[in-house]
Amino acid sequence: MADIRLEKITKRWGDVVAVDDLDLTIEDGSFTCLLGPSGCGKTTTLRMVAGLEEPTAGRIYIGDKLIHCSERGISVGPHQRGVGLIFQSYALWPHMTVYQNIAFGLEMEKMNKATIETRVREAASWMQLEEYLHRYPSELSGGQQQRVALARSLAPQPDCLLMDEPLSNLDAKLRLDMRTELKRIHAMTNMTILYVTHDQLEAISMATVVAVMKDGRLQQLEDPLKLYKHPNNLFVANFVGSPPINVLHGNIFAEQGIWRVRTSDMVFSLQRNPEDDVQIKDGQNVVLAVRSEDIVLDDPSASFAMTIYSSLPTGSDTFVRLTRGDLAMMAKLYESDSLPVDSQVSVGFRPERVLLFDEDTGQRISLGSSLVGFTEATAS
């Protein structure tokens, strides 16, 4: 299958704009996740690719083939687009066995029995369902039913698999198991997958590329790890990552050849990155952001003290909430020790992992500034 291209796609229901002037390319063979909060337009986008919703404006291509054009009244039917669909509901036929459920779409395409047999058993083996082919859905667990739904979509060997939060009804362990299976299936088949989720961990762990959406607009299209390390704006920085990124509001000014960011409690000294996205202006209101894992406790080079508000061990690591007056931050430690509440610790930050954003626009203004040092702010 060739790339799927959405050009200037808009979807309105009356005064409600679900998708707003969206340009998006889903590359052939990619595992692309549409990520965002409820109501951001990700499911509507998937349904327009599938042909289940008609865009109000714009064009959709599969390779060089135009499958939808609002201006010219062109719209290829869902069954002609070569896509498979999986939704939150498994939608299995309760009176059919697993074998019959998987074979249903193939029979509708009037394939011969030998081909159906081969396809069903191949899809069942991918999803480890061989021993369940003669059972009925009511005799299966939720995870097994989801595997049947996946096998049914894989059996026709679609060019592209469209999935709308298919794991949301599963418990945590089953979700993890199914993520593993989906990533394995993608590696085996090199099938194009378009996957809708609001779970940023799901997107980062499975996708080859993530499209973050907000209010019907694309915020960033990026490799998952680059998305995490270099978010384009504060929305992406806050939405991607758990716990959310720590933010400090301040004012930036030039002094002695470096940038200094003054917050209510600290003055950060930053070596300007030569690849800054836009020119930083002296006196600009900024947001300095740092991930929880980039905060260092008991840093011998740091003199800034904060109080342990709470310590939450998870087994493999510990999340520590730090406070100082109105300032609160979350640090992640790669150890399971619980730190005493109300104890004092010196706080440091890992160099070259500090991000700067314009406070008014929310846009990133540095690719990653190297932290030279920081001191406690003094009253001016």
> Residues 61-74: pLDDT tens digits?
998 899 999 999 99
- CA gap 289, 357 in Å, rounded: 8
Written as one string, the DSSP assignment of 243-305 is: SPPEEEEEEEEEETTEEEEE-SSEEEEEEPPTT-SSPPPTT-EEEEEE-GGGEEET-TT--EE
φ/ψ bin of 278: left (φ > 0), alpha (ψ from -120 to 50), beta (otherwise): beta
Residue 370 has pLDDT above 70, yes or no: no
| Domain assignments of the chain as residue spans, ordered by start | 4-238, 243-376
Residue 252 has pLDDT above 70, yes or no: yes
Q: Enter the pTM of the model.
A: 0.87
DSSP state of 339: P
Q: What is the pLDDT of residue 367?
A: 57
pLDDT grade for 119, boundaries at 50, 70 and 90: very high
Q: What is the pLDDT of residue 282?
A: 82
Alpha-carbon dihedral angle through residues 190, 192, 198, 199, given to the nearest 10 degrees: 0
Beta carbons within 10 angstroms of residue 320's beta carbon: 23
Closest CA to 119 of 104, 137, 138: 104
Residue 278 has pLDDT above 80, yes or no: no
- CA gap 72, 28 in Å, rounded: 26
Residue 29 has pLDDT above 90, yes or no: yes
Q: What is the pLDDT of residue 97?
A: 96
CA 268 from centroid of its chain's CA atoms: 31
> Residues 183-202: pLDDT tens digits?
988 998 889 999 999 999 99
- The CATH architecture one would assign to domain 4-238 is 3-Layer(aba) Sandwich (3.40)
Residue 277 has pLDDT above 50, yes or no: no
